[in-house]
């Protein structure tokens, strides 16, 4: 075939061919601004559900303001500043173990699904105010006295009860322990979605606001945001594994007997006809390969069984010799 014999198709001719078969060019579609999807952040809550959470937390903030006003005998203002979702693997970034005091909570005494966290500096500021001092002082890392710990625990318990009341009646959660310094040690799964809710507490007409943070499993917020929770699996991991193995054993696979291959030129392929002999690349004494889903699994000899072509398996891929040949038909389960 020479270059002169090649008939190149021009764009105009291609368009006529497409029109002849009823095909039309695909029109370019314009898209608007689409927010970028960040796979590193969870998407358990959508935008509407987060907005719904923020509205509920605004109501909680008003009640928290009353709690602080009652304990400090001064007017306080509380407002939600963040409602975000994260993977539990982000916890070390969200809190500093040595710089926070935490109080865990959950549905049972031995099971916690979240915790309240405040900075050690905020802890010392609140203790100072509860004792009647007008200004915060002292080392935020020093241990609290029994009186300070008692006063602070009463305040934090009232704050936690006010927050948890917003989750009722769908979730009945309560304090699981006492306020202590450092991470509460809740065993979240690293890929578990958790929600972070932050409130800012500020004395009216004064500066130096402080923050209080709640972290809990997103699944505990399902009813609050109107989301249907995922059904709890009724099978054990062992039963699921057994069912999966039984299913895999019934799955069909394609087995191909590959005799040999040959590489010829395109013109030679065009010239092939009846009675022609095509030499393959494998001698007669070599075995046939059995290919399962694209990978060579066994080797064997060509044979005949029941009037059909067959392969007598002699070796596995690892070289193990088949001692007792058996006849297998498609769909027949393996014995033994």
Reading the block at residue 334, the tokens are 């393996």
What are the residues whose beta carbons fall under 8 Å from the beta carbon of 329, sequence distance 6 or more? Answer: none
Could you tell me whether strands 100-106 and 180-181 are parallel, antiparallel, or unpaired per DSSP bridges? antiparallel
Q: Is the pLDDT of residue 216 over 50?
A: yes
pLDDT in tens, 165-211: 999 988 999 998 888 888 888 888 888 999 999 999 998 877 788 99
Determine the 3-state secondary structure of 16 from DSSP: helix
Specify whether the CB–CB gap between 152 and 144 falls below 8 A.
yes
Run of H or E residues at 61: helix 47-72
pLDDT in tens, 8-43: 556 666 666 666 666 665 555 555 566 666 677 888
For domain 47-225, the CATH architecture is 3-Layer(aba) Sandwich (3.40)
Run of H or E residues at 80: strand 76-87
**How far is C-alpha 242 from the geometric centre of its chain's CA atoms?**
24
Reading the block at residue 168, the tokens are 């009722």
Torsion (CA) 319, 323, 325, 331 in degrees, nearest 10: -60
pLDDT, residue 51, reads 92
Closest alpha carbon to 71 in 129, 123, 144: 129
For the full predicted model, state whether its pTM sits above 0.85.
no
CA distance 183 to 116: 10
Mean of the pLDDT values across residues 48-65?
A: 94
CA distance 159 to 115: 12
CA distance 207 to 304: 93
Domain segments of the chain: what residues? Answer: 47-225, 282-326
Question: Mean pLDDT in the chain?
Answer: 82
Mean of the pLDDT values across residues 117-136?
A: 83
Reading the block at residue 120, the tokens are 């050690």
């Amino acid at each position: 075939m020479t270059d002169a014999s090649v008939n190149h198709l021009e764009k105009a001719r291609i368009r006529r061919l497409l029109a002849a078969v009823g095909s039309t060019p695909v029109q370019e579609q314009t898209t608007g601004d689409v927010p970028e999807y960040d796979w590193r952040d969870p998407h358990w809550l959508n935008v509407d559900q987060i907005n719904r959470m923020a509205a509920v937390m605004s109501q909680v903030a008003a009640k928290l303001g009353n709690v602080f006003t009652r304990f400090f005998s001064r007017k306080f203002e509380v407002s939600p500043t963040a409602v975000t979702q994260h993977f539990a693997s982000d916890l070390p970034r969200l809190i500093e173990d040595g710089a926070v005091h935490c109080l865990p909570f959950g549905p049972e005494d031995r099971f916690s699904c979240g915790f309240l966290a405040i900075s050690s500096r905020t802890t010392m500021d609140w203790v100072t105010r509860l004792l009647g001092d007008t200004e915060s002082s002292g080392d935020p890392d020093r241990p609290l006295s029994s009186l300070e710990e008692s006063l602070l625990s009463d305040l934090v318990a009232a704050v936690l009860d006010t927050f948890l009341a917003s989750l009722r009646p769908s979730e009945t959660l309560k304090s699981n322990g006492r306020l202590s310094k450092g991470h509460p040690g809740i065993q979240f799964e690293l890929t578990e979605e958790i929600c972070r809710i932050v409130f800012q507490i500020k004395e009216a007409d004064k500066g130096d606001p402080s923050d209080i943070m709640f972290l809990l499993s997103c699944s505990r917020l399902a009813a609050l945001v109107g989301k249907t929770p995922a059904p709890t699996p009724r099978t054990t991991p062992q039963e699921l594994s057994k069912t999966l193995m039984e299913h895999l054993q019934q799955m069909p696979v394609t087995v191909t007997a590959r005799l040999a291959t040959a590489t010829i030129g395109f013109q030679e392929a065009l010239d092939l006809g009846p009675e022609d002999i095509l030499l393959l690349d494998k001698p007669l004494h070599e075995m046939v390969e059995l290919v399962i889903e694209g990978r060579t699994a066994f080797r064997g000899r060509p044979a005949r069984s029941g009037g059909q072509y067959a392969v007598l398996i002699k070796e596995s891929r690892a070289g193990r010799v088949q001692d007792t040949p058996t006849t297998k038909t498609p769909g027949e389960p393996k014995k033994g």
